[in-house]
A and B are shown apart, each in its own frame.
Chain A
Amino acid sequence: MGGALNQLPIGLSIGAVLLLIALGLTFTFGQMGVINMAHGEFIMAGAYTAYLLQDVGFPIALPAAFLVAGLMGLALERVAIRHFYGRPLDTLLLTWGVSLVLQQAARDLFGAPNVQVVSPGWLRGSVGVLPYNRLFIMLLAALSVVAIWAYLNRSAPGRRMRAVMQNRGLAATTGIDTGRVDGLTFFIGSGLAGVAGVALTLIGPVGPTLGTYYIVDAFLVVVAGGLGQLKGAVLAAAGLGLLNSYAEFWTNASLAKVIVFVAIIGFLQFRPQGLFVLRSRALT
């Protein structure tokens, strides 16, 4: 029983990381129809930022990683992805090319072997079965969700973003600069991936292919949660994180992914568009 209880913080913290990653994906996917395979490399960029700044201090690393990954995302959107709207499958392959380049760049800059980031002293230790580092990751994700919620619902740029997501043409005719909104969405989404990267340094080593481990699961969160849905992303991330860690606990690591996959396919039989659906009259 104690073993099963131990899985709870592990599952929830994995879910929290997935959530941070999936938030960016769900909004870029929902708003622009872009499948960004390079998103995983923004996680890696965030993690390496934390590695470089580990002597400066962990609290500095979080905003720095947000900025680094965010700017990379903004650059990618402005330079390349902007020309591909309406061709989601092409963006998928384009961004995969970008992700290959970024991985090799990381290998050349930091070396192929994994590096370890020393977590700050105040994150070692635990309350009961709950280690501080995993608790911190959950708090970080919770904070990000609140911030995103406030941004979407209580700020002018957030309202513009929702408008573009619901109806791009109508938003444009009311005077919203949709290109600007797209850039901003990409910046924030990629920045969150950077924050997720910092969180990952607390629970494991950092390597050039760090992002690829999480990107597939993060996409499943988007599929299960529904496109551009904050609530959906939160629930799906928590569900997938828990399912992953308990499936690993009760069977073994190699079967867990298969179980998760079958569960997602089964889930899509009931809710083909995910938990929550943006209602529209358009033919999907």
Chain B
Amino acid sequence: MTAGGADVTARGADVTAEGADMAATAPVVVRQAPPEPARPRWSRLGGPAAFTATAVLVLVVAPLLLEPFRLGLLAKYLCYAIVALGIGLAWGQGGMLTLGQGVFFGLGGYAMGMYLKLHDAGGDLPDFMVWSGVEKLPALWAPFGNPVFALAMAVVVPVLVALALGTLVFRQRVRGAYFAILTQALAAALVILLVGQQGLTGGTNGLTNFFDIFGNDVAADTTQRGLYLTVAIVLGVLYLGAWQLVRSRFGRLLLAIRDGEDRVRFLGYDPATVKTVTFAMSAGMAGIAGALFVPVVGIISPALLGVVPSLELVVAVAVGGRYALAGAVLGAVVMGYARTYFSEELPDAWLYLQGALFILVMTLAPKGVAGLASGVAAGLRGRLARGRAAA
């Protein structure tokens, strides 16, 4: 196997894996990398095995070993990992750099927070409304007393916002950096809106002081453990869904659009629809993550969903490896831990470290840790193959 082949696998192992059945339908494939030699069996089983091992580690080992406080932190990082999964899908697979995932995360979080607030108030006004002098429950809030409605809205609202933005933007072929700037402006606008509408949103403080979730004390260890398991299972299910999506025809189309949108359009596909749908899916994931985040952490506030938190998640995805879904998830968890560790130990140095790490990753390993790992794996495979050929 040549060095060139290794490069291709690092970019999208899935593409080359499909090389075999593509060759069957298309007689001549010009300028395509030579199909990868059939991978040994252990390599094909590597993905499912790693997934199962991780699932056991997260679902069984972690709850047994970690004390409640640490388990709560891990639950929080797993919420971020769900957002990162969406970013990996939109940016890594679809080439849409979204700097406003915090918006969708926040919409989901506020939907959940509104339900919890109303539930705790039990028919009265939520505490912060009383403090800001609101006398009657705003009409916007009323339906969120119903948990089913609130949970549905945590996904539906982000998806609708993303569909609207995606339709308006991608139809006009606004893309790349322009799209990134627009999503960032949306994040900035939402923060200012939330801070300004004190009586409706709790202003800078956001929604906090939750006591009860579906009949359980939010702060109790057992509740927190249940929430942790819920988050982990949701992440696993969404991961499998995203993985399946990437392997599907839709996923292949998405990759093609990332690498050559105009060519895809000339072939008769509609890139705008594919991109909009993908963007909406990543927004839905961020919304789910937000809804889970609120009971786990106990607060949702504008500071958690602005420009900086949105960018930090993109950073985490870049560090983990944007072209691999697993890299995105891992990046979010690792960066979350690093953040907690360094802001406890060296609060002043954290920004320097984060900035420096970022510059280094972008300069030396633009494909992130996952890219490095798959590069090493491909190198090893190449060496093995050469060794066999020589023998």
Contact = CB atoms under 8 A, between A and B. Distances in A.
B185 A90 contact: no
A96 B351 contact: no
A92 B355 CA distance: 13
A94 B359 contact: yes
A249 interface: no
B172 A272 contact: yes
Given A89-B97, A103-B351, A269-B172, A252 B182 contact: no
A83 B182 contact: no
Interface string A240-284: 000000000000111111101100110011001000000000011
B interface residue count range (under 10 / 10 to 19 / 20 to 34 / 35 or more): 35 or more
A223 B195 CA distance: 26
A88 interface: yes
A220 interface: yes
Contact of A104 (B168, B189, B348): B348
Contact of B351 (A101, A212, A223, A264): A101
Chain B facing A: main interface SS = helix
Interface in B348-375: 348, 351-352, 354-359, 362-363, 366
A92 B307 contact: no
A84 B362 CA distance: 9
B197 interface: yes
B262 interface: yes
Interface in B259-308: 262, 307
Contact of B359 (A89, A97, A254, A257): A97
A220 B168 contact: no
Contact of B177 (A80, A88, A253): A88
B348 A108 contact: yes
B130 interface: no
B312 to A, nearest CB: 10
B255 interface: no
Given A92-B177, A92-B180, A108-B348, A98 B359 contact: yes
Interface of B: 91, 97, 165, 168-169, 172-174, 176-178, 180-182, 184-186, 188-190, 192-197, 262, 307, 311, 314-315, 318, 348, 351-352, 354-359, 362-363, 366
Q: Which 10 pairs from chain A and chain B are nearest by CB?
A: A254-B196, A97-B358, A100-B355, A101-B355, A272-B172, A104-B351, A257-B189, A94-B362, A97-B355, A97-B359
24 contacts: A88-B176, A89-B177, A90-B362, A94-B362, A96-B311, A97-B358, A97-B359, A100-B351, A104-B351, A104-B352, A104-B355, A108-B348, A216-B184, A219-B181, A220-B181, A254-B193, A257-B189, A258-B193, A261-B182, A265-B165, A265-B182, A268-B168, A269-B168, A269-B172
Given A89-B177, A283-B262, A284-B173, 7 more contacts: A35-B181, A97-B359, A101-B352, A101-B356, A103-B351, A216-B184, A254-B197
Interface of A: 29, 33, 35, 80, 83-84, 87-90, 92-94, 96-101, 103-104, 108, 212, 216-217, 219-220, 222-223, 252-258, 260-261, 264-265, 268-269, 272, 283-284
